[in-house]
Amino acid sequence: DTGVSQDPRHKITKRGQNVTFRCDPISEHNRLYWYRQTLGQGPEFLTYFQNEAQLEKSRLLSDRFSAERPKGSFSTLEIQRTEQGDSAMYLCASSPGTEGEKLFFGSGTQLSVL
C-alpha cells in the first residue's frame, strides 16, 4: 500500500494557461475524489468517481474544470484558461468504495496562477 500519490506537488502557471494534475489512488480503491482547499478553509468538494464513472460534479465548478478517470485507475484534473482565483491546493482522495468509509488523501498539488 503506497498511499495516494499526486503529481506535480507544485505548479506555477500564467493566467490563461491550461494545467493538468494527476492522481494515483490506492490500488483497488473504487472511489476517487477531488477537493480544492484554500488557506484557512476546509477542503471543498469538486467531483468524484466510482470506478471510471463520474458520479457528481460540484455546481460551483465552472466548465473550465474537467476530470477523467479512464479505466477506473488514475485520474486527471484539467483546468483550462486558468484564472488567479484558481490558485489553491488541489487534493485527491480515495476510498475502498462504499459510503461510511474513511478517505485517504494525497499530499496535494499546490497551484499558483500568476
Partner 1 sequence: QQPVQSPQAVILREGEDAVINCSSSKALYSVHWYRQKHGEAPVFLMILLKGGEQKGHEKISASFNEKKQQSSLYLTASQLSYSGTYFCGTERGGKLIFGQGTELSVKP
Chain contacts with partner 1 (rule: CB under 8 A):
4, 31, 33, 35, 40-45, 48, 50, 55-56, 91, 99-108
Q: Which of 104, 22, 14 is nearest to 67 (CA)?
A: 22
Task: Quickly list DSSP for 67-102.
Answer: EE-GGGS-EEEEE-S--GGG-EEEEEEEESSSTT--
Q: How far is the CB of 112 from partner 1 (least distance, A)?
A: 15
Instruction: Report the nearest approach of partner 1 to the CB of residue 56 (Å).
Output: 7
Q: Residue 82 or residue 94: which is nearer to partner 1 going by CB?
A: 94
- Given a contact cutoff of 8 angstroms between Cβ atoms, the answer to whether 52 and 72 are in contact is yes
Least separation in angstroms between residue 104's CB and partner 1 is: 7
